[in-house]
A and B are shown apart, each in its own frame.
Chain A
Amino acid sequence: MWYLLFFLGIVFANEEDKSIVSSGAFSVEGEVILPSEALASSKWHTQTRVLLNHGQFIGFVKPDGTFRIDGIPSGSFIVQVENVDYVFEPIRVDVTGKGKIRARKLTILQPNAVNQIPYPLKMSAREQTRYFRKREEWRITDFVFSPTFLMLALPMLVVLVIPKLVANDPEMQREMESMQMPKMDMPDVSEMMANFFNGNQKPKKKAEISLSSHKKESFVGAVICFPYIFRVLNV
């Protein structure tokens, strides 16, 4: 591997000597690779630049995606692709005094870690740049499936719907009567509402008693129908 690289380095160095006018200056070459949907726009390469060390040297991208940055002294450089629509992973390139070039992964926290990658560089777009946060849209399903809504809706259902279901089914009524249920003194919702809105009018005792007996039935209904309700809501 090392031997191969060394060999490559010599080849490139020779090439530099031919193409570069002033001595001691090297070139970094590579290719910018974009996903196919981006290539559909014919203008992408006109809006892309390659920056070395954050703009100390710059290169432009040809229509075929290749780039070459000339006139580079020996040293270590960070290569970045500047494109508004896509994010590219930066790469570190080391150029020796003889013009040997090696590329490695850029780890900003460990500048000396060597994780070699092939040269000439292949800079591929990692993802489309996201500049905006997604605004939360208000959807009825979000509202319906939210836990708070379920917590509110279930008792409502229990209070309003189940008694009627039970009332229509005499068999179930009988079944329920046969069951032993703990007796609970539940306050009546409609009663509470009425109290709340006409505070000074006192309801009759009689009505309260009759309603509370009604309540007991509904509670039993709730226990039986629980699994069923969940199934309906999860569809």
Chain B
Amino acid sequence: MVLYHFLLLLVGAHALFEDQVGKFDWRKQFIGCPTQIEVDRRGKLDRYLMATEENVVAALSMNTGEIVWRKVQEDTANQGHRHAPTFAGNKNAICTVSDSGRMLRIWSKRDGAFLGQLLLSSVESPHPPAVAIENEACLVVAHNRAIAVSLKDATKLWEIEINKSNWVAARPHRDGFAIVGGIQENSEVHVKWVDAQGNQNLNRILSVNSFNPKRVTLSGRHLLGHWDSTLYSLDILANGPEMKIEVVDKKEQILEVVQFATEGYAAVRTTEHTAVLNLAKNFAEVLSTGKSDAVSEFVNKDGVQYVALVQNHVLTVFDLNERKEILKQVAYGDPTLLAPVKKVVVGGGDKEWEFLVIGEDCRMDHLVVDLNAKKGTTEWSREEGLTKIGSVEMLDLPLSESQAAIETEFSVDEKNVLASFIHRLISQLDQFKRWIGKSFESIFNLALVMQVQSSSFSDILNSVRNSAKSSSSFRGYPLERDVFNLRKLMVVTSLKGSIFALDNSDGSVVWRKYLGANVDGLTTLDGHHKIPIFIQRTTAFYNFDAQVAVAYKQNAATHITFLNPMNGKEVDHQVVNDARRIDLLPFVGDNHLHSIIVVGANKKFTVFPSLPANVLETAPPVHLFDVDQKNGKMTGFRLDLKTHELKETWTEFLPQWQESTLITISGKPSTQRTHSQGRVMVDRSVLYKYVNPNLVAIALLGKESSQLTVIMLDAVTGQTVHSARLPKVKEPVHLVHCENWVAYSYWSEKGRRTEIAVFELFQGIEQQHLETFSSDEPLKQALHVEQASFIFSQGIQSMAISETEQGASNRAILVALPFGNIFEVNRRILDALRPMELTAEMREEGGFIPYMPEIPIATEEMLNYNQTVHHIQGIKTAPSGLESTSLVLAYGLDMFYTRVTPSGTFDILKDDFDHVFITIVLAALILGSIFARRMARNKALQQQWA
């Protein structure tokens, strides 16, 4: 224990005080893209109940959009996950089938209390599961079985086998359940009616023509199947054959059949119009012409049936009983920013209508429309697309106008002294004017706040503090860099097809852009899906706008869109048909712009934007590195821009490729800096780091051999610099690569625990590359490798390294733990050179931490204290203007942003520095000394007289 405290002292552990909560950090909780939404108006609070793609069941408040309760179930990344979760609910409980039909769980609707669970199978269900609820029993159809469970504690009531089906449906029917299963091969529909005790009362086989599994909807007792432009209806409880409903012309295509809660009705959307189907009478009534985006039914308390329709962000509501339009063409939001609507749910309607609109990019908008209003108001929105992040970049904000003015002053090379003097005066006058304007504004705001709030001193102090905080957000202020460059713009791509720019001070969305339908990520070398963001030009150049390129796949073609990250305006757009590789060129072309290189088939490549001749002339060769996913063949390429050639330079094969999975290929960011080239040992010799910018770390895990292989490869020469093998290792494996060291975590089967190993590469005590590093130059001596491994008592979901501006601060390894915390391990703890025993010399020298196998984890050191975040997929770090401070964004199902200071805040006063106290002390000292001086003088005078 003593040693432990000693350790903490040495490392300067990170910990927060309670009053610092929320000062630098914020958290956003998400639920994921909804797959099923129900309106719950039974309780005190009106709510939306949702099941989502992220395997989450949640209740959202209808008034605020906040999460009332949320149940995070199995991580979808764990196993195969084909079927979306589904649920059914009565007034007290909801019954969910999640994890691709593996698990049935019952929850209390009011507070999300867990009531019971039943494991349906340990494998995926072969068909999408169906669930229905009736009389305190929940029926689930999955794995070709129908199982009824009690709603109280999920105990199984009965179970029956059903025929092997391609699709299933279930609904309550006369105190029991009607189960429908479809068999595609012989075009049969099996209908069973089972009563509450599990007795099969009816067993019927109906033969049908073309009920395709993906195009079947059960609406009440009618089964609706569609094919191109024909629609069939089948009454499952009657004997008759299926009926064809004449709804469409031959030209049209049926897009979707929407089930209604009211017996005997459904809706159909086609490419040309939207119609309500009266299934009892077997006819369709056209509601509107033109393609609509979503249709939904709503029945009010008096049983009046309404249909809501969304068409290009315009809402229409029809009263089916009166046969008239209640709401006509109500627009909402800004249609240029929003994605097409995927689903609409009517939350309530009477005098005021409430709608929940889900976009293709998983944005939820809750709209309130007054009966007479022309435009709907958005009460709240949720960006659920942020649960599937493709990549994140943090960008500096542009220089403020005044800062830019100073820059221009220096850049103008005027010979005339007088002119530059006048220029100087003008710019200083401008600065003064700005300062006065800002001060006035803040005083005015403060006065306004103080008027509203009560006038105790602490209140005033609080309002001052808050006003300072609110002015730091973007509202009303232009995007400008702050003094320490702590405020940044986070550009985030979502795999759901949107780009967001988030303000890092509070996580609010500055701008958003929808990329289009069918957007998919690109596959990285190590098999991850990403929508990469390439920073072509930062905001460092005041006379040019910053520019980023975002690359994504859409309908089999690769699109690259070039944007100004500060406002989201598109600068250029390119479509490439056969892109194999997209990357950023390391040198700049015209106007300080890094070009994007796209390598296609047959080693052809293009550069966007194309480089000018003079740059091409002097362009150094670029080396590319590729791994073939089929056979594990690694290839190095040399790209010569001068001759426009792409040549193969080397090939290597990854070992045991067939039985291995590629975990990660990790290079180093080109912006990363290594501050110190060596490490001073205790005997005052210097161990020089092997800092090779072309070094790539590759981690492979054998499926059968359970062997983890880490290979350090020079991507230019193809030479393996170092490799490490570890037997008896299981997933999860995470690897981070930085400067001259690599840290990787793994599950050790031998120790049955998580371990983190670290190795560092050194050149030895002589430095070979004095000026610049060259991969072509062979190493004079073998690399000196130091390694150590540590026990980590928790699991690891994600790992990242902090980044600072100069790399002089210690690095911290940020680790996302499975129960929702983010933990910071200082690099001085995770150090391969920690001595086994402290010698007398080391004690004298100080700063050495003896090796201990376990990495201590203290709850006080959790970066996100009690703000837990789940299913973290990645952690992005970025340097700030302060060398001590690194900005951190952890993302997954939730998002958490904070700052870390691995070496302490050495370059800035502590946040809790007591300015008031120090001022009082200083004033008291000055006053005291003046007073004492006067006293002393008086005394001296008296003594003179005595």
Contact = CB atoms under 8 A, between A and B. Distances in A.
A223 interface: no
A197 interface: yes
Contact of A46 (B113, B753, B859): B113
Interface string A185-225: 00000100110111001011001000000000000000000
B263 interface: no
Nearest to B754: A54
B724 interface: no
B862 A197 contact: no
A72 to B, nearest CB: 9
Interface in B888-935: 912, 917, 932-933
A109 B21 CA distance: 34
Interface string A60-101: 111100001011000010101010110100101000000000
Interface in A1-44: 19-22, 24-25, 42-43
A68 B143 CA distance: 22
A203 B18 contact: no
B301 interface: no
A111 B17 contact: no
A58 interface: yes
Contacts, number: 141
Nearest to A59: B117
Interface string B771-798: 0000000000000000000010111110
A46 B105 CA distance: 14
A234 B797 CA distance: 54
B14 to A, nearest CB: 10
Given A22-B121, A71-B102, A197-B932, A132 B865 contact: yes
A207 B943 contact: yes
A194 B936 contact: yes
A196 to B, nearest CB: 8
B544 interface: no
Contacts of B73: 58
A121 to B, nearest CB: 17
Nearest to A25: B122
Contacts of A49: 72, 819
Contact of B862 (A25, A60, A131): A131
Given A71-B102, A84-B866, A109-B854, A62 B119 contact: no
Most A-side CB within 10 Å, residue of B19, B791, B793: B793
Contacts of A207: 943, 946
A151 B105 CA distance: 69
Nearest to B943: A207
Contacts of A24: 122
A53 interface: yes
A179 interface: no
A134 B865 CA distance: 14
Nearest to A194: B936
B116 interface: yes
A148 to B, nearest CB: 15
Nearest to B930: A197
A90 B868 CA distance: 19
B937 interface: yes
A197 B78 contact: no
B811 to A, nearest CB: 23
Contacts of B754: 54
Nearest to B858: A130
Nearest to A20: B119
B78 A56 contact: yes
A108 B119 contact: no
Nearest to A201: B940
B795 to A, nearest CB: 2
Nearest to B820: A82
B936 A197 contact: yes
Contacts of B21: 132
B617 interface: no
A54 B818 contact: yes
A43 B113 CA distance: 8
A187 to B, nearest CB: 15
Nearest to B119: A70
Given A71-B102, A193-B936, A207-B946, A135 B19 contact: yes
Contact of A43 (B102, B111, B156): B111
A63 B819 CA distance: 20
A203 B936 CA distance: 11
Contacts of A22: 119, 121-123
B791 A55 contact: no
B818 A55 contact: yes
A135 B16 CA distance: 9
B607 interface: no
Nearest to B750: A111
Contacts of B15: 132-133
A116 interface: no
Contact of B120 (A21, A58, A61): A21
Contacts of A19: 156
A158 to B, nearest CB: 20
A70 B143 CA distance: 17
A49 B121 CA distance: 21
A61 B750 CA distance: 31
Contacts of A129: 859, 866
Contacts of B117: 59-60, 68, 70
A70 B154 CA distance: 13
A105 interface: no
Contacts of A87: 859
B119 A45 contact: no
Interface in B65-103: 69, 71-75, 78, 102-103
Contacts of B751: 111
A71 B119 contact: yes
A51 interface: yes
22 contacts: A21-B119, A21-B121, A22-B121, A45-B113, A56-B78, A60-B71, A61-B114, A70-B117, A70-B118, A109-B791, A111-B753, A129-B859, A129-B866, A130-B859, A131-B865, A132-B860, A133-B860, A134-B17, A194-B939, A194-B940, A198-B937, A203-B943
Given A22-B121, A130-B860, A197-B932, 8 more contacts: A21-B118, A24-B122, A43-B111, A62-B114, A108-B793, A111-B752, A131-B866, A135-B19
* 7 A-B pairs with the lowest CB-CB distances in the bound complex, closest first: A54-B795, A70-B119, A60-B114, A131-B865, A55-B818, A82-B819, A132-B18
Interface of A: 19-22, 24-25, 42-43, 45-46, 49, 51, 53-63, 68, 70-71, 76, 78, 80, 82, 84-85, 87, 90, 92, 108-109, 111, 129-135, 138, 190, 193-194, 196-198, 201, 203-204, 207
Interface of B: 15-19, 21, 69, 71-75, 78, 102-103, 105, 111-123, 143, 156, 747, 750-754, 791, 793-797, 817-820, 853-854, 859-860, 862, 865-866, 868, 912, 917, 932-933, 936-937, 939-940, 943-944, 946
